[in-house]
Structure 1
Amino acid sequence: MLRVVLAEDAVLLRAGLVELLSRVGHEVTAAVRDAAELARAVDADRPDVVITDVRMPPAFRDEGLRTALELRARHRELPVLVLSQYVAGAYAARLFLGGPPDQGGLGYLLKDRVGEVAEFLDALDRVAGGGTVIDPEVVRVLLWEQSAAKPLLRLTPREREVLALMAQGLNNQAIARRLTVTEASVVKHSGNIFMKLDLDPAEGNRRVLAVLAYLRGHLDADRPAGEPTAR
């Protein structure tokens, strides 16, 4: 059982998440509608994991994301799963670059993923357990859009597939099953990825660093000149 603080301004989605989480045995200690209430709830009763929307009252910009980062700074090991309506590389980058690269317990999912109940609950469990989860649709867009970071151009199509699955929090065995290849092949591709992205083997968790390597290229993707890519 997980103790969860939930922040979501949409009444129906908030109620649906509370019902879903309660049905599978988790305890929602607080279900709030804005970032200020989220901060108070977490500070008052440290949960096992936080689920928060990116955009919440009053301005409906990035209040939830900013509060999640502030809470992570105050409560270093607090797992946070962020929900977004948008495929926005800037949001994902800010979340994952907001702390030490080897500090796990972070997830970024599109709200559509909530409808895939088993997948959503699995992501929640992995984040609560210290894992890293990025929505596969966000990964797909970040990997293939024209503004991708230059180091990614060194990767082969198969290496990009492996990196995308790494970003979803899968281990080598799970990646091998997904791609129908041997685990040894995944290890080889992973080594190539680390080498091509110039990742130091001694520098923290290289799988997380590999994910961050392409997220860095999207920190400025969400500027006033244009909205995030809508779903």
Structure 2
Amino acid sequence: MRVIVIEDQALLREGLARLFTDAGHEVAGRAGSAEGLDELVTSGRPDLVVLDIRMPPTFTDEGLVAARRLKARDDPPGVLLLSQHVETGHVVDLVPHPGFGYLLKDRVLEVDEFVAAAERVAAGGSVLDPQVVSALVAQRGPGPLDRLSERERDVLALMAEGLNNAGIADRLVLSPRTVEAHVAHVLTKLDVPESNDSHRRVLAVLTYLRAAP
């Protein structure tokens, strides 16, 4: 996997680069701002671009604007946005795109899980931080999500991370059959048709979450 890291904090930028290198991936470029990113992507041909949402010069939405621009390319790379805080309003339009992820920076400390999430995004999958999912759920008015039990919401959050049933079972310490039942209940209650394809399943759930109440 070829990765480009765009992060204004030098220590985090170099730390991310080292993290990917240690995991056996190639860092094709790195920068402290999104300026010149299009040229860097054209020359570096990355599978994944990791972007901070807030970067110079205004520290508002430079990373978000760059992510939208990357996804508009004819052959877009995977894009993984990082943020210090949950900012759901900024990313909902990007959620349906294949190869998109949004994680809080704290997730970088969970090295193995972070690298696995980055690899899923690079492969065209979708990853959304559980706290972002919780915020999306909390913002919705009354509706089918109210029908979910607490455990089903836990399962939904892990589905949004891109985990398959086996991964959810490991994380929640449940049997695969129990997870399969929870997933079926979630999809039924949300009126989302079940699919064996993990990426399509995540997109279906996330599309539902971002829909207007």
TM-score (norm 2): 0.86
Aligned counterparts of 2:107 and 2:171: Cα–Cα separation in 1:
19
Please provide the CA RMSD for this pair: 2.3
Question: Structure 1 unaligned runs (5+)?
Answer: 219-231
Residue type matched to 1:205 in 2?
Answer: R
Aligned pair partner of 1:116 in 89, 110, 113 = 110
1:161-200 alignment, distance < 5 Å: 161-200=154-193
CA displacement, residues 18-55 of structure 1 (integer Å, 9 cap, x when unaligned): 22222333221111122232222112331111111111
Name the SS for the 1:5 alignment partner.
Answer: strand
Q: Report if the CA contact (8 A) 1:163-1:211 is conserved.
A: no
Aligned position for 1:80: 79
Q: Report if the CA contact (8 A) 1:6-1:38 is conserved.
A: no
Aligned position for 1:27: 26
CA displacement, residues 181-205 of structure 1 (integer Å, 9 cap, x when unaligned): 3323322322222222222569x92
Question: 1:148 and 2:147 equivalent?
Answer: no
CA displacement, residues 46-67 of structure 1 (integer Å, 9 cap, x when unaligned): 1111111111122211111121
1:15-164 alignment, distance < 5 Å: 15-97=14-96, 99=97, 103=98, 105-143=99-137, 145=138, 147-149=139-141, 150-164=143-157
Q: Report if the CA contact (8 A) 1:166-1:207 is conserved.
A: yes
TM-score (norm 1): 0.80
Aligned counterparts of 2:92 and 2:20: Cα–Cα separation in 1:
27
CA displacement, residues 203-224 of structure 1 (integer Å, 9 cap, x when unaligned): x923321123223459xxxxxx
Higher relative contact order (CA 8 A, sep 6+): 1
1:8 deviates by 0.9
1:203-214 alignment, distance < 5 Å: 205-214=200-209
Aligned counterparts of 2:181 and 2:6: Cα–Cα separation in 1:
41
Aligned counterparts of 1:76 and 1:200: Cα–Cα separation in 2:
29
Q: Report if the CA contact (8 A) 2:70-2:76 is conserved.
A: no
Question: Structure 2 unaligned runs (5+)?
Answer: none
From the superposition, tell whether residues 199 and 164 of structure 1 become closer, same or farther in structure 2 (CA, over 3 Å). same
Q: Report if the CA contact (8 A) 2:48-2:80 is conserved.
A: yes
Name the SS for the 1:35 alignment partner.
Answer: coil
User: Percent identity, aligned pairs only?
Assistant: 45
Q: Report if the CA contact (8 A) 1:6-1:51 is conserved.
A: yes
